[in-house]
C-alpha cells in the first residue's frame, strides 16, 4: 500500500482479520473496527464513522458465516451478509472510498468438476451462499471502485470464535483425546491458510485492478484428505473413517465441488498461492511446532 493510504478493517476481531492486521505492509495507516465499534446494519452509523475516519480503503471481513445456523436464521444472515454490505457499499460510493468485500466459495453450487473461475456464473445452494452472493451484488452495484475476494476453507492461528477454533486445531484436539473421527470424502475444495491469504489481499489492494478475485491455495482435496494430511504431518494416528455428506447430519446443503481457480490473480501478474499441503505445513510449523517439510 502507498504511504498516503488509510485502510479501515471491519470485523477486526475475527480469524482472518488477525492475519490481515499483522501482515499489513507497513506503509499507510490501518484502523481495525470490531462489531462493538461499528454495526454495518446501522447505515447512519456507518456513514458517520467513515466521514470521521476518512479512509482511502475499507476491507469488510464482517460476516455471519455459520453455514448451518444461516439456514434457520436467514433474517440475520441477509441482514449481516447483504444489507450491512449494501450500507457500506453506498457509503463508499458517496465518499469515494475503495471497497473490498471478502466472499466465499459457497456462492457456487458444485455442479462443475473443474475449478471455478471468476467468470463462472454463481449458483448458491444454501442460505449462507445466497446471502454472500447478495452482498457481492451490492458491492458490484454501488461501489464503483471495489474488490471482491472469494475464499475457501479458512484456518488461521487466531482461530474462529464463532466455530470454536478452526478445523485444523479441532481435528488435532480430537486426535489427542482419542476420539474416533469421521470426515466427509465427497466435498472437494481447497483449504486456505489465512496467513498467505492476508498477504495476497494486500498485494491485490496495492493495485488499481478492481473486480472479483479468487484467492485460495492451489490444488484440491476432500475434507477427509485434508484431515488425513493434518494427521500425517503431525505424526498422529487416530481412528479416521470416511463418510458421505448425506451421513453428516448437516442442516445446510454443501457444494460437492467448490475448488476455485485464481485466474484473475495470475492475469494481473501476481504470483499464485502455495499448494495446500505446503501452506498447511507453514501453519503447523508456526502454531504446533511440527517439523518443516522441505520435499514436496
For the domain made up of 6-161+190-218+259-274, the CATH class stated in words is alpha beta
pLDDT band of 3, cuts 50, 70, 90: confident
Helices (H), the chain: 15-22, 43-53, 67-72, 74-78, 84-95, 127-142, 167-176, 194-205, 223-234, 263-267, 276-288
Q: Does residue 201 sit in helix, strand or coil?
A: helix
Closest CA to 105 of 212, 226, 242, 205: 212
Among the options 101, 116, 128, 142, which is catalytic?
Answer: 128
Per the structure block, which three cell numbers stand in for 46?
456507518
> In the Cβ-directed half-sphere of 275, how many Cα atoms lie within 13 Å?
10
Q: Is 210 a catalytic residue?
A: no
How far is residue 293's CA from residue 296's CA, in Å, rounded to a whole number? 7
pTM of the model: 0.96
Residues recorded for the chain: 296
| Burial zone of 25 (CB within 10 Å; 0-12 exposed, 13-18 middle, 19+ buried) | middle
pLDDT (tens digit per residue) in 87-137: 999 999 999 999 999 999 999 999 999 999 999 999 999 999 999 999 999
Q: Could you tell me the residue ranges of all domains in the chain?
A: 6-161+190-218+259-274
Amino acid at each position: 500500500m502507498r504511504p498516503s493510504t488509510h485502510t479501515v478493517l471491519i470485523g477486526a476481531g475475527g480469524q482472518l482479520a488477525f492475519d490481515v492486521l499483522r501482515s499489513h505492509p507497513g506503509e499507510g495507516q490501518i484502523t481495525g473496527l470490531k462489531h462493538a465499534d461499528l454495526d454495518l446494519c446501522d447505515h447512519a452509523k456507518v456513514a458517520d464513522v467513515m466521514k470521521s475516519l476518512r479512509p482511502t480503503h475499507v476491507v469488510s471481513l464482517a460476516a455471519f458465516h455459520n453455514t448451518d445456523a444461516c439456514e434457520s436464521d436467514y433474517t440475520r444472515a441477509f441482514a449481516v451478509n447483504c444489507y450491512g454490505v449494501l450500507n457500506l457499499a453506498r457509503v463508499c460510493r458517496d465518499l469515494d472510498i475503495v471497497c473490498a468485500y471478502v466472499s466465499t466459495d459457497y456462492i457456487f453450487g458444485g455442479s462443475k468438476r473443474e475449478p471455478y473461475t471468476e467468470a463462472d456464473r454463481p449458483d448458491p445452494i444454501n442460505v449462507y451462499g445466497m446471502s454472500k452472493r447478495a452482498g457481492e451484488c451490492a458491492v458490484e452495484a454501488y461501489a464503483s471502485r471495489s474488490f471482491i475476494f472469494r475464499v475457501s476453507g479458512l484456518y488461521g492461528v487466531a482461530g474462529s470464535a464463532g466455530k470454536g477454533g478452526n478445523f485444523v486445531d479441532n481435528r488435532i484436539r480430537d486426535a489427542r483425546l482419542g476420539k474416533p473421527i469421521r470426515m466427509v470424502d465427497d466435498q472437494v475444495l481447497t483449504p486456505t491458510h489465512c496467513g498467505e491469504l492476508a498477504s495476497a489481499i494486500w498485494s491485490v489492494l496495492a493495485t488499481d485492478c478492481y473486480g472479483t478475485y479468487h484467492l485460495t491455495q492451489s490444488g484440491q482435496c476432500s475434507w477427509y484428505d485434508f484431515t488425513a494430511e493434518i494427521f500425517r504431518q503431525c505424526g498422529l494416528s487416530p481412528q479416521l473413517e470416511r463418510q458421505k455428506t448425506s451421513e453428516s447430519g448437516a442442516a445446510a446443503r454443501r457444494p460437492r465441488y467448490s475448488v476455485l481457480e485464481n485466474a484473475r490473480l495470475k492475469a494481473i501478474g501476481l504470483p499464485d498461492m502455495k499448494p495446500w499441503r505446503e501452506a498447511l505445513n507453514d501453519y503447523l510449523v508456526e502454531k504446533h511446532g511440527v517439523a518443516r517439510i522441505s520435499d514436496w
